[in-house]
Amino acid sequence: MAQLRTKRQTVTLKIAYGGLLIALGILLPQAFHIFGQEAGMIFLPIQIPVFMAGLLLGPIYGGIVGAAVPILSCVLTAMPPVPKVYFMLFEMVAYGVASGLLKKKFNVIVSILGAIIAGRLMYGAALAAGVSILGIHAPFANSAAFISTLVTGIPGNLIQLTLLPALYIGLKRGGFTFDER
């Protein structure tokens, strides 16, 4: 089925998927925040649609979704809060771009794992730059808070490494991916 799509149809479908994933990136964290602020930091629901965007749509759309989700979520729901959203923006773009790039060469699990590492490194680099260059001082902007965030998010990363491959495989079997292989 995927081979029968024209280029225009593919672009239209990718834009539609991207819009759906952006909406999920805004709504999914709100569902988790019902269980408390910590639920979002533990289960990392905002990241799931961004990883899917990279895996399904490639690095460009993944990066766009990664940029749009934290900004729109902040504007519409005040989560993530300012100034944290500025740092998360770099992290989320890295997740979308890295998962899309890695998916071209590796399987889904390796792509997600590599994207997790890339995104966390980007978040740390953005925090370091914000503190040293811009002089930003916030409770989340220090090395202890960064390490705490990494540890707190391990359950979310494990969910991502189990849920996303299963979801991707299901979509692929149903003909809802854009894979060329």
Task: Give me the pLDDT at residue 113, please.
Answer: 98
Residue for token pair 């060469």: 105
Q: List, for residues 6-56, the tens digit of each pLDDT value.
A: 899 999 999 999 999 999 999 999 999 888 888 999 999 999 999 999 999
Q: List, for residues 51-91, the tens digit of each pLDDT value.
A: 999 999 999 999 999 999 999 999 999 999 999 999 999 99
Q: List, for residues 91-120, the tens digit of each pLDDT value.
A: 999 999 999 999 999 999 999 999 999 999
CATH number assigned to the domain covering 2-173? 1.10.1760.20
- Is the per-residue pLDDT at 3 higher than 60? no
Residue 170: is it exposed, middle or buried by C-beta count within 10 angstroms (0-12/13-18/19+)?
A: exposed
Q: How confident is the model at residue 180 (pLDDT cuts 50, 70, 90)?
A: low
Task: Give me the pLDDT at residue 5, please.
Answer: 81
CB atoms within 10 A of CB 155: 13
pTM: 0.93
Residue 25, CB-side half-sphere exposure with 13 Å CA sphere = 31
Q: List, for residues 136-160, the tens digit of each pLDDT value.
A: 777 787 888 899 999 999 999 999 9
Task: Give me the pLDDT at residue 63, please.
Answer: 98
Contact indicator for 78, 57 with CB cutoff of 8 Å: no
User: Distances from the Cα of 63 to the Cαs of 57, 97, 114, 144, in angstroms?
Assistant: 10, 5, 15, 28
Residue 94, CB-side half-sphere exposure with 13 Å CA sphere = 19
- Domains of the chain, residue spans: 2-173
